[in-house]
Amino acid sequence: MEHLVRKLLFTMAVITVIVSQKSCLNDVTSASGGGREGEVVVVLDEKFQDSKAGNYIDTVLRAPFYGLPQYEPLFKLYVIPWNAFSNTFKSFRNIVKVRISSSVAENKVTVKRAGMQTVFHFKAKNESEFVKLLMKNKQQLVSLLNYSEKEYAKYKIKRGVDKNLRTKILNTHQIKTTFPDGYTMRLDTTNFVWLSYETNQLSSGIFIYYFDYEDSATFTKEYLLYKRDSLLKKYVQGPLADKKETYMTTEYNYIPPKFTELMVEKKYYTETRGLWTVVNDFMGGPFLQVAYLDQGRNRVVVFDGYVYHPSGNKRKYVRHLEAMAYMMELPKTAENGE
């Protein structure tokens, strides 16, 4: 187990960058809610908006959000010129400012954060230098904006937490969760919990399950998806189960599941994104699986969320699942759930 943890220490770099930005920001407007979820203001002179600079910004920030059945961009962009950068836009949570001018003394990018606001400021002598700067820093840009969105989703979730669900899951399974009001318990067995939020247009569900940690092979894409599929086949039947064999499973062909290993705050976890489907039915949508190592109990704990929203966009709901997944805690001893 120690070897498993050690081999992933290098992946803390992005998280370290994200956390380190918090301490160096004194001159950014503190925004608590400017802009809706997933929105980014890009400040860029009009003459560059339809040229190389604007095209590369689109490539990075409007790239596909992975694991959705239809295209949705990572972010919705409002691209405005500098003379339109009013106080309304300055209050947005996510801002990318781009200054391209021969008067720029040095090609550089600065990142500032305050409250829930994140501001990137690119300065470049010409378009070619800006593109180089953007592509060199695109991982940090996307990672930090994604982090900002996750923190905002956490903020919204915490405004109305279902304490009864938290207490029940904590007392029964020794897992501390944070779910907003509206989720109901659909199934609670020895090592498998199913909760869902239902409306006429949307079904958002969460599975929490756990099993013994055996060795480093436990935390592989193949094993975790095998456990996922076997448990869903056992517990999550399709709506026509009274007529034929039908159950939820992982979709492997349309979009292959994407598997990532990470270390966050010295804790190891894996993240898998992809699509779910229903055998012998026509239902499907995105899922997010986050697996934790509960070292004190020698078990693997999995948060596995899904979205069914056939008539609308799904990105926002996946980000809410992501926020809830990373709010889950594994207490050393039982707590009172408050």
- What are the tens digits of pLDDT across the range 122-135? 999 999 999 999 99
More confident residue, 19 or 136: 136
User: Do residue 74 and residue 101 come from a single domain?
Assistant: yes
User: Do residue 189 and residue 239 come from a single domain?
Assistant: yes
How far apart are the C-alpha atoms of 182 and 160, rounded to whole Å? 9
How far apart are the C-alpha atoms of 304 and 314, rounded to whole Å? 16
Strands (E), 177-256: 184-188, 192-198, 203-212, 248-251
pLDDT confidence of 33, banded at 50, 70, 90? low
Domain extent for 187: 160-327
Q: Is residue 336 part of a domain?
A: no
pTM of the model: 0.85
Range list of H helices, the chain: 2-6, 13-20, 46-49, 52-61, 87-90, 127-158, 163-173, 221-235, 315-327
User: Do residue 165 and residue 306 come from a single domain?
Assistant: yes
User: Do residue 177 and residue 134 come from a single domain?
Assistant: no
User: Do residue 182 and residue 273 come from a single domain?
Assistant: yes
Burial 87-118 (b: 16+ CB within 10 A, else e): eebbbbbbbbbbebeeebeebebebbbbebbb
291-303 pLDDT, tens per residue? 999 988 999 999 9
Q: Is residue 337 part of a domain?
A: no
User: Do residue 183 and residue 303 come from a single domain?
Assistant: yes
Give the pLDDT mean for 28-55: 84
DSSP conformational letter for 92 = B
CA distances from 127 to 58, 108, 201 (A): 14, 13, 45
Q: Is residue 207 part of a domain?
A: yes
User: Do residue 105 and residue 245 come from a single domain?
Assistant: no
Cβ atoms of 273 and 287 closer than 8 Å: yes
pLDDT confidence of 63, banded at 50, 70, 90? very high
The torsion angles phi and psi of 6, rounded to 5 degrees, stand at -65, -40
User: Do residue 125 and residue 16 come from a single domain?
Assistant: yes
**Residue % of the chain over a pLDDT of 90:** 75
How far apart are the C-alpha atoms of 148 and 165, rounded to whole Å? 27
User: Which one of 122, 157, 192 terminates a domain?
Assistant: 157
Residue among 280, 286, 293 at smallest CA distance from 216: 293
User: Which one of 157, 176, 205 terminates a domain?
Assistant: 157
How far apart are the C-alpha atoms of 300 and 293, rounded to whole Å? 5
Q: Longest Cα pair distance anywhere in the chain, in angstroms?
A: 72
The per-residue pLDDT for 23 is 34
Provide the pairing of β-strand 267-278 with 284-294. antiparallel
Q: What angle do helix axes 315-327 and 127-158 make, rounded to 10 degrees?
A: 70
pLDDT confidence of 19, banded at 50, 70, 90? very low
Q: Is residue 118 part of a domain?
A: yes
Q: Is residue 252 part of a domain?
A: yes
**Residue 35 in tokens:** 């802009």
User: Which one of 131, 157, 183 terminates a domain?
Assistant: 157
176-198 pLDDT, tens per residue? 999 999 999 999 999 999 999 99
Q: Is residue 216 part of a domain?
A: yes
Q: Is residue 335 part of a domain?
A: no
User: Do residue 165 and residue 112 come from a single domain?
Assistant: no
User: Do residue 106 and residue 168 come from a single domain?
Assistant: no
User: Do residue 149 and residue 243 come from a single domain?
Assistant: no
User: Do residue 43 and residue 164 come from a single domain?
Assistant: no
Least confident among 19-23, 203-207, 211-215, 248-252: 19-23
Q: Is residue 129 part of a domain?
A: yes
Q: How far is CA 54 from the centre of its chain?
A: 26
Beta bridge partners, 234, equal: none
The per-residue pLDDT for 216 is 85
> How many domains does one find in the chain?
2
The torsion angles phi and psi of 17, rounded to 5 degrees, stand at -60, -45
* Cα atoms in the Cβ-side hemisphere of radius 13 Å centred on 293: 24
Q: CATH no. for residue 283?
A: 3.40.1000.10
